[in-house]
Amino acid sequence: MTTLARILLVEDDPNDVELTLTALADHNLANEVVVARDGQQALDYLYRRREFATRSTDNPAVMLLDLKLPKVSGLEVLTQIKSDERLKMIPIVVLTSSHEEKDMMRSYALGVNAYVVKPVDFHEFVNAVKELGVFWAVINEPPPGSVKK
Amino acid sequence: MTEFVERPADAGVRHSLEYWNQEFQRIHSPILRYSFSVVSVAIALGVGLAFQYYQFRDVQLPVFTVAIALTTWYAGAVPAALAVLLASASFDYFFTQPLYSFYVYTNELPYYLIFVVWAAIVASFSAVRRRTEANLRRARDDLEVEVEERRHREHEIRKLNQQLGKRAAELEVINTELEAFSYSVSHDLRAPLRHIVGYSELLQRQASSLLDEKSQRFMRTILEAAKKMGNLIDDLLAFSRIGRAETNKAEVDLAHLVQEVVAEIARDTKQRDIVWQIGPLPVCQGDYSMLRLVVVNLVSNAVKFTSMRKPAEIEIGSVSHNKEEVEVFVRDNGAGFDMQYENKLFGVFQRLHLPEEFEGTGIGLATVQRIIHRHGGKVRGEGAVDQGATFYFSLPKAQDGIERIVNAP
């Protein structure tokens, strides 16, 4: 694993953050993960506002987005990003507990690149996160302007 | 007199009728009517005498007929007869020879006769007109009552419609609430479960060398219980989705569907000794994917509950009771059930066997029932302990359903 792109993880639940980071760490994918705890923070990161004002201008190579978030919901974040010329190319994977077809339909309609329902089984969860990390941060060629070490 | 209610469509007609009634209607009081008769003849007599005074001849009779006509018109038939009588008498007394005497010469009799007949004709016309008018009025009153009733019914219908609309709105709200509920079950209930499983796994990984056999068993139990709960939630959500999902009804070839499902399940149960027997199955109306779920549930149940049989025998077929409906059955020679618990078969999370005997969440038959009910059919089960079970579901047939025979795979 020579190249590793930055992952933006948007997740409000600290347990889920820990489990996801653990899953990524299990496969040496955790060193370039930025965690945003709500939709507002995620947008702050992308627009380089507040605590992220000084970060480099590169976009993350992939964004793992939960749908149920405090303040600004995942679908609102999605709408915002996809309507912004500079951000719409960022690959977005919805990583959610929701099996609801309605959520899935809306997410795809807004242009997500993948929709993953978090499996209850931990092994399956680790596997899913690993596959996502490997595919989006290693195998996939991110759009120009993304962070790539 | 009937009260008139102004209504735009026939207001003009009604108004003129009312005017007619007020202006030209005969006088109601009998005294006034007869007085009218007497007075009009008296006026005619006065006018006649005046004409006579000025030497006008032969105008008295027309004047009297005018009085009779007016009396017939305004006062009715009997006062008219009185007027005829009075007019004849007055004419005879004042204007014919011998004057001032009621004596009538024979040669003038036809003259009087024609006068009386003419007056009678006028009176009878008036009577006919009155009868027609009375009939018309009665018909109008009947219509009025009917219109009133209809208006009442319309009002009732409108009220019921409003209630229905309100009820629908209420149901919509409840449904939205239910959806929000199932959404939060889907999202919020699964999250802590995932954490229980996740952290237990992590703990197991981190501390397995420190834990004794008993503690390890506890850990495994926690994990299994959490996973089972995950399955229960998933099944429950799937079940609630069936109730909400829209059905896309089309012609479904059950023979083809069953063949497909059996082939799939037979592939997964190669190590088992199962004898499949599939009879003729019809084409029916339904939602393909939902009906497939029904067949999958029933066939998997049959496979599950015959696990101790060698060979297991599973038969799928249909019985046609009438032209509209067909009943499909899945029969097995497995564990069966006690018919006294038949009413619990299709309940959600109802199980008739211990979890150690047969695994499962107890939602399969509830799902089957829900889908079949949504198709307008019925489900039932027959069985006896250790003698196998048969599950039936009925479906409406396709319009020109063709029955085809499918051979066992």
Instruction: Please state the length of chain B.
Output: 409
* Measured distance CA(B41)–CA(B64) in Å, rounded: 7
3-state secondary structure of B93: helix
**What pLDDT digit, counting tens, does each position of B64-89 carry?**
888 888 887 777 778 888 888 888 88
The first and second tokens of residue B177, run together, are: 């609430």
Q: Where are the domains of chain A?
A: 7-139
Under 8 Å between Cβ of B108 and B116: no
Handedness of CA B340, B394, B314, B248 (dihedral sign): negative
H/E stretch holding A118 reads none
Whose tokens are 């069966």? That residue is B336
d(CA A18, CA B171): 42
Written as six digits, the tokens of B38 are 């007497």
Nearest to A97 among B190, B200, B202 (CB): B190
Distance CA B335, CA B305 (A): 6
Report d(CA B257, CA B370) in Å as an integer: 19
Residues B206 and B135: their CA atoms lie apart, in Å, by 104
Comparing alpha-carbon positions, the chain B residue that sits nearest to A11 is B191
pLDDT value at residue A4: 63
Distance from CA of A113 to the nearest CA of B (A): 21
The residue in chain A having the minimum alpha-carbon distance to the alpha carbon of residue B240 is: A100
* pLDDT of B402 above 50: no
Answer whether B191 sits within 8 Å of A97, measured CB to CB: yes
What is the distance between the alpha carbons of residues B75 and B28, in angstroms, rounded to a whole number? 8
B404 vs B236, residue with greater confidence: B236
Structure tokens at A58: 């590169």
Q: Which amino acid is at B241?
A: R
Cβ within 8 Å, pair A125-B199:
no
Q: What is the pLDDT of residue B1?
A: 42
Determine whether the interchain pair A100/B198 forms a contact, defined as Cβ–Cβ distance below 8 Å.
no
Which residues from B are below 8 Å from A67, CB to CB?
187
User: Tokens in use for A140?
Assistant: 């996939």
Q: Which residue reads 């930055």 in tokens?
A: A6
| Neighboring chain A residues of B234 at a CB cutoff of 8 Å | 99, 120
* Three-state secondary structure call for residue B405: coil
Over the stretch B252-270, which tens digit does the pLDDT of each residue have?
Answer: 888 899 998 988 888 888 8
For B23-50, write each residue's pLDDT tens digit: 455 677 788 888 988 999 999 989 988 8
* 8 A C-beta contact, residue B28 and residue B75: no
Do B64 and B73 touch, CB atoms closer than 8 A?
no
- Here the tokens at position B84 are 């005829």
Question: Nearest by CB to B193, which of A96, A100, A120?
Answer: A120
The kind and range of the H/E element at A72 are: none
Contact assignment for A122 to B187 by CB distance below 8 Å: no
Strands A62-65 and A92-96: parallel
Is pTM beyond 0.80? Reply is: no
Which of the residues A12, A75, A95, A97 would you substitute to probe the B interface, choosing the one with the greatest number of B C-beta atoms within 10 Å? Answer: A97
Contact B198 A123 (CB under 8 A): no
Closest partner residue to B230 (CB to CB) among A67, A96, A120 is: A120
Phi-psi region of A146 (alpha: psi -120 to 50; beta: other; left: phi over 0): beta
* Nearest by Cα to B200 from B214, B217, B220, B215: B220
Residue to test with chain A: of B184, B185, B187, most A Cβ within 10 A: B187
Expressed in angstroms, the distance from the first to the final Cα of chain B is 87
Instruction: Report the C-alpha gap between A22 and A10 in whole angstroms.
Output: 15
ipTM above 0.90, yes or no: no
Cα separation, B287 vs B285, in Å, equals: 7
Minimal Cβ distance to A121: which of B186, B199, B227: B227
Q: What is the CATH number of domain A7-139?
A: 3.40.50.2300
Q: Flag if B194 and A122 touch (Cβ within 8 Å).
A: yes
Q: Which helix (H) or strand (E) holds A113?
A: none
List, for residues B153-179, the tens digit of each pLDDT value.
999 999 999 999 999 999 989 988 887
Contact B234 A68 (CB under 8 A): no
Mean of pLDDT values over A120-149:
80
Encoded tokens for A81: 């990003």
Q: Is the pLDDT of residue A57 over 50?
A: yes
Residues B197, A99: C-beta atoms closer than 8 Å = no
What is the torsional sign of CA B397, B398, B404, B408?
Answer: negative
For B248-396, CATH number?
3.30.565.10
**pLDDT tens across B90-103, in order?**
888 888 777 788 78
Torsion over CA: B173, B175, B180, B185 (sign): positive
Would you state the structure tokens that stand for residue B304, as one six-digit string? 């599950």
Across B313-321, average pLDDT: 87
Task: Return the residue of B nearest to A19 by Cα.
Answer: B198
Report which of B193, B183, B187 is spatially closest to residue A66, judged by C-alpha positions: B187
Closest CB from B191, B202, B230 relative to A16: B191
